[in-house]
Amino acid sequence: MASNFSIAATASSIAAAAEPRVGSPAINKVTMVFLLMLLSGLGVGLYAFYAGHHVAYNNTREMPWGILISSYAFFAITSTGLCLLAALSHIFGGNRLAPLANRMVFLSIVSILSAFFMIGLELENPWRLAIYNIISPNFTSNIWWMGTLYGMAVGMMLVEFFLILTGRFKLAVALGVGGALAEVMANTNLGAVFSTLSAHPFWYGSQLPVYFLASAFMTGAAAIILFTHFAHVIRRQPVEGEVFQGLQAAGKVMAGVLFLIAVATVWKFISYYTGGSELGRLAAGSLIDGPLSTNFWVFEVAIGMVMPLIILVLSGFRSIQAMSSAALMALVGGFFQRYDLVVAGQQVPHFYGWDNLPLYQAYIPSASEFMVLLGAFGLMGAGFLLGERFFGKAFRHSAGH
């Protein structure tokens, strides 16, 4: 009898978080568009399993990693940032980020699921990962640790969010801290997947794990600003009070980390041209004045770093429209940072100078790769809107614990 009462109380707590008025006809139509994007991307990914990844995707032996890997990194890093900011706001209750915490937990879950969607359709045999990760663990593999830790993190965050919905906040905070620690370790292992490959001088070194962690704070802060603004737009409510103060705090985090990333980027290129290896300089040249120069100068530097900083500084963090625009630009820049990093690191042939090899290997994502990416964005968009529909009230009560 007591057990039945507990189950009923739990179901009631979860149901109480729903916000039916968010499910307007217009929002439902947008949700359906995102779900169609998701299904289209999934369908193309399944077709790649049937036809062969070498047919559907433009990866080669010389360029084995492309936009699917870089996009996986983008979503995974964003998830880490959201999880970390949520954990910090929960641990140090009463700070300005606290009103945003519950939404950050949920968006972190959706973002990591989008990352899993990307990597699951990129791998030719993803089921082997699930099987051999358990029965044949390789403790010396960064990829093994990355997959294991991200799996642990999403498990903890799912339980944490359930506990938030049912009002067990102290236990939720404990799970949130555990999830954040798992995300940090997974994120730095993701950086180490690249940084420990000495055959790719553009990646090799100790900077990338820390750089990925800084990028996580940047994209996480940008994501919560953008999605919180959207959440109020679909409700036709102004952003004010504690929520606005929380977004101001997130904007300051984003601005500070953007500045640090800009400094790190400058020093990264200085290191290549003051004693770095020839292959590293050639890869850097791909970004400076080579095939990736438009991506680098327009999307990474101008849109991704300079313009957001200018907008945030000139607005003084007083305008939600300005902060949201800067956040969108920072996310676009973060996406291209991941893409340029992955592609530039492979473009220069290992044996450049022999047998008339080209200076840069060619890679342009295929239509199938773009469709899979579209599916991941569909998952992110649909997850956000469905979260606002079914858990919206929980997102408005974040400051209560």
Give percent of the chain above pLDDT 70: 94
pTM, full prediction: 0.94
pLDDT digits (tens, 9 = 90+) for 26-77: 999 999 999 999 999 999 999 999 999 989 999 988 899 999 999 999 999 9
Q: Which residues contact 68 (CB under 8 A, 6 or more apart)?
A: 57, 118, 119, 121, 122, 369, 372, 373
Per the CB < 8 A criterion, the answer to whether 218 and 304 are in contact is no
Q: How far apart are CA 250 and CA 247, in angstroms?
A: 5
Q: Which of 16-30, 46-60, 186-200 has the lowest mean pLDDT?
A: 16-30
Answer yes or no: is pLDDT of 109 > 90.
yes
Residues 155, 157, 144: CA angle, nearest 5 degrees: 45
- pLDDT, position 253: 95
Q: Which amino acid is at 32?
A: M
Q: What's the domain range around 15?
A: 2-400
- pLDDT, position 400: 47
Write the CA distances from 391 to 99, 148, 165, 318, integer angstroms.
15, 28, 8, 28
Query: Confidence band (pLDDT; 50, 70, 90) for 93?
Result: low
Q: Which of 215, 80, 104, 92 is nearest to 153 (CA)?
A: 80
Write the CATH number for 37.
Answer: 1.20.1630.10
Neighbouring C-alpha atoms within 13 Å toward the C-beta of 333: 28
- pLDDT, position 117: 96
- pLDDT, position 399: 45
Number of domains in the chain: 1
Q: How far apart are CA 267 and CA 261, in angstroms?
A: 10
Answer yes or no: is pLDDT of 94 > 70.
no
- In this structure, the dihedral spanned by the alpha carbons of residues 113, 122, 369 and 208, taken in order and rounded to 10 degrees, is 80
pLDDT digits (tens, 9 = 90+) for 244-289: 999 999 999 999 999 999 999 999 999 888 887 888 899 999 999 9
Query: Confidence band (pLDDT; 50, 70, 90) for 367?
Result: very high
Per the CB < 8 A criterion, the answer to whether 12 and 385 are in contact is no
Q: How far apart are CA 307 and CA 327, in angstroms?
A: 10
Q: Which residue has the higher pLDDT, 374 or 11?
A: 374
pLDDT digits (tens, 9 = 90+) for 283-339: 999 999 999 999 999 999 999 999 999 999 999 999 999 999 999 999 999 999 999
340: left (phi over 0), alpha (psi -120 to 50) or beta: alpha
Q: How far apart are CA 197 and CA 142, in angstroms?
A: 11
Q: Please state, rounded to an integer, the average pLDDT across all residues of the chain.
A: 90
Tokens of 73: 């990194």
Stretch 346-359: mean pLDDT, rounded?
78
Q: Which residues contact 58 (CB under 8 A, 6 or more apart)?
A: 66, 363, 364, 365, 366, 369
Instruction: Output b/e per residue, 211-246; b: 16+ Cβ within 10 A.
Output: bbbbbbbbbbbbbbbbbbbebbebbeeebeeebbbb
Neighbouring C-alpha atoms within 13 Å toward the C-beta of 380: 25
- pLDDT, position 353: 67
Q: Which residue has the higher pLDDT, 23 or 224?
A: 224
Q: What is the DSSP letter of 201?
A: T
Give percent of the chain above pLDDT 90: 69
- pLDDT, position 5: 46
What is the rounded end-to-end Cα distance, in angstroms, of the chain?
A: 30
Residue 328, classed as helix, strand or coil, is helix
- pLDDT, position 328: 98
CA gyration radius, the chain? 21
Query: Confidence band (pLDDT; 50, 70, 90) for 13?
Result: low
